[in-house]
Chains A and B, each alone.
Chain A
C-alpha cells in the first residue's frame, strides 16, 4: 500500500466509522424512546389510560439524545484537535530540549531527527513521560503539528536500534494519517459514552423515597440510559479496537520496511514482554489515547476483544518469524552497532555525495514512489546529512533564538547589493541579538549545499514551535519583510516561505487550522492550471518548449483540459491560495496532481536538485511529505 492509498484507507475507515456512528445514534434514539414510552407507560398504567404514539415525545427524546451525543463528540474532537502538543501536555509530558546534557535524551532526539529528515517532515518535538514502562506515542492532526512521546523506561532500557524501530513505528502512524483517524475515534466514542454518564448521574441524583411513583420511573430512565450508553460504548470500543489493531500491524510492517531491521522493533517488543512493568502506564489519561501508543498501554479487563493492540507474541511473530516465543531480553549490543554504522557511514559518504549531487535521470513515477514511504537508504542519507552539517549551524537550528536567525539567513540573497538591502531591513526590524546572530551565521549558510537547506528548515521548524505567540508574530513579520526587502521574490524564497508558514500557521494561528475543505471541481481545475503553469514558467526544461512541458502534465491529468497560463496572468498570491485549496484534495487526487508536477519537472529527462527541492516544497504544502531524493 503506498502513501496515497494508505491515506485514502484511513479516510475510508473514517467514513465507515461515521456510518456506524450514525447507525448507533439512530438505534440509541429508538431505544431511548422505547425506554421513555415504557417508563411513562409504566406510570400511566396506574391510571389505566392507554398511551397513543406521541410524535412530540419522540422528537423531544430524539433531539435530546442527538444533542448529547453530538455535544460530547464535538467537545472531545475539539479538545484533541488542538495539535499533538496539547495531548502531550495533558499527559504531563516534559519537552526534551537539545543539549540538555543527558545522553539518553540526546539519543532519542537524534533518532527522531534522522527519521524526520529521512521522511521529509518537520522534526516533531519529543516529550518525555515520567513512567518506567516502555512505551511511546505519536499525536497530532498532521505532520506539521505532530509530536512524539516516549517514556523514561523506553529511552533508558532500549538500545538505539530498538528505539529506532519504535520511532519508525510511530512515524508510520504520522505518515499514514492514523492520528486523524484516532482523534475522530476518540471523539465519537466519547459522545456515546456521555449518554451512559448522564444515565449514571440520574441514577445517583434521583430521589430515593420509595413511596414516590415518579422516582421509580426516573430511576428506571437512568438505568436504561446507562445500559444504552454503555452498550453503545461497548460496541464502539469493539470497532475502535478492531480498526486500531489492523493499523498497528501496518505500522509494524512499515517500521521494518523503513529501517530494514526487524531486530530493532522486534527486540523492543521482546523487551516489553520481558520487563516487569511491560508497557502499562500509570497515568489515568492514558486510557483515552490508548490506541495511539506503541504497545497496549492499559490493562484491559475484557482481555483481547478490547485490546487496541494485537498481542505481543503475534506482533513479534510477524516481525521475527524465527522467534522462539521466549521473552528474554537480549543483552545490549548498543555500542557495537553505532561504531560500525559510523565507519560504514564514512564509507558511504562518497557514494551519498555522488548520489545527491549528480543530476539524476528519473521517471516521474520514481519521483513519487517514496512519498510518505521512506526506506533505509533515506535513513542512512539523513544520518549522513545531519553529520555533515557545520556544527554552529546545526546548533543554531536547535535553539529557538538561533533557528530564527537561520531561517532569515536562508533567504539572504547571494548578490552583495541585494543582500545589503535585506541586512539593512533586518537591522532596523529585528532586535540586536538576532541581527548579530544572522551576521555570524550568514557566511556558513551561503556555503551550504542546496540539498542541505530543506532538511535544515525541517530541523528549525521543530525548534520554532517553541516560540511564544508574540514571538512568532514578530518572526512572521520579519521573514515576510526580509523576503520582500529586495523587491523581488525568487523560487527558493517563495517555497521556503510557503513551507515555514504552512507548518507554523497551523500551530500558532487557531483560525488557519483545519480549513482545508475539498475544493470544487471547477476550482480544482483552475488551481491546478495555475500551479502547473507556474512550474512550467519557473523551471526551464532543456530542449522542451513550455507548451510541450505543459502537455506532458496534461497527459497525467486527463480531466485538465485547459490552456497554459502565461506567467504574467497570475500573481504569487493567487498561486498561494491555489496551493492552499489544493491541499484539501483527496489523497488520490493529490497523487495525480503530483504526477502532473513530476511530469513537468522531468520533461527534459533530467532532474536537477533545484527542481527536486521545488517539487518537495510543493508536495510538502500539499501534506504529502517527500523524502530527499537518492537514486
Chain B
C-alpha cells in the first residue's frame, strides 16, 4: 500500500507538472510570435508613411495620371487599416488574410505606378523621388525579413502545438486554432517591389 501509493503520487505529480509545462509552453510561444509581429508593424507603418510622400512628389509631374495615383492612395489606406487590425491581435486569421490581400493590392498599384512613371524622365531624375524610392526599397527588404522572423515563430508555435504531447491538450487550453502565416500574395514580387527602375 505505502509503496504503491507513493509511486502513484509521484506519477500524478509528474503528470501535473508536465501538463503545466505544456500550458506554459503554449502561452510562451504564442506571445513570442505576437511579439515578432511588432517589427513588421513598424516597417509596414514606415512604408505606408512613405507612400503618400511619394505620391505627393509625383503629383507635380503626373498631371494626367490622377487615377493611378488615387489607386495607390486607396490601396495604401486599405492596407494601413488591415495592419491596425492585425496589430491589435496577430492571432486573428481573418485579419491576417485581409492584410495579405490589401498588401497584394498595394503592390499591384505600386507596380502600375512605376510603369507609368517610365514615361516621365524628369520625375525619375528628381532627387527627392530617388531618395524616397530608395528608402522604400530598403523598407521592403526589412518587411520581408521581419515577416520571415514572424513566420518562423508562427511555425515554431504550430509545430509545438501539433506535436505529440501538446496535441492532446492544446485545444483544452484554448489553443485550438493554428496561427496563420503572413504570406503576401506574390512574395517574390514584394522582394523586388516597388521596382522604381532608374
Give the B-binding residues of A (Cβ under 8 A): 36, 40, 57, 60-61, 63-64, 67-68, 71-72, 75, 79, 85-86, 89-90, 92-101, 194, 197-198, 201-202, 214, 218, 399-402, 432-434, 436-437, 440, 466-471
Contact = CB atoms under 8 A, between A and B. Distances in A.
Given A89-B31, A95-B35, A202-B9, A468 B152 contact: yes
Q: Sort A-B residue pairs by CB-CB distance and give the 3 closest, nearest first.
A: A468-B152, A433-B141, A64-B6
B14 A71 contact: yes
B3 A68 contact: no
Contacts of B1: 214
Contacts of B35: 89, 94-95
A92 B36 CA distance: 14
B142 A402 contact: yes
A533 B6 CA distance: 58
Contacts of B21: 75, 79
Given A198-B9, A437-B138, A61 B2 contact: yes
Interface stretch (B38-46, B125-133, B167-175, B177-185): B38-46
Interface string B20-32: 0100100110011
A217 to B, nearest CB: 9
B39 A471 contact: no
B24 A400 contact: no
Interface residues of B toward A: which range? 35 or more
A100 B38 contact: yes
Interface of B: 1-3, 5-7, 9-10, 12-14, 17, 21, 24, 27-28, 31-32, 34-36, 38-39, 41-43, 45-46, 137-138, 141-142, 144-146, 148-149, 152-153, 156, 191
Contacts of A434: 141
B152 A471 contact: yes
Nearest to A54: B2
Nearest to B14: A71
B148 A95 contact: no
B152 A64 contact: no
A508 to B, nearest CB: 12
Given A400-B146, A466-B39, A468-B36, A93 B31 contact: yes
A60 B42 contact: no
A188 to B, nearest CB: 15
Contacts of A95: 35, 38
A40 B191 CA distance: 74
B39 A97 contact: yes
B146 to A, nearest CB: 6
Given A86-B28, A89-B35, A401 B3 contact: no
B141 A92 contact: no
A92 B31 contact: yes
Given A89-B27, A94-B38, A399-B43, A75 B17 contact: yes
Contact of A399 (B6, B9, B42, B156): B42
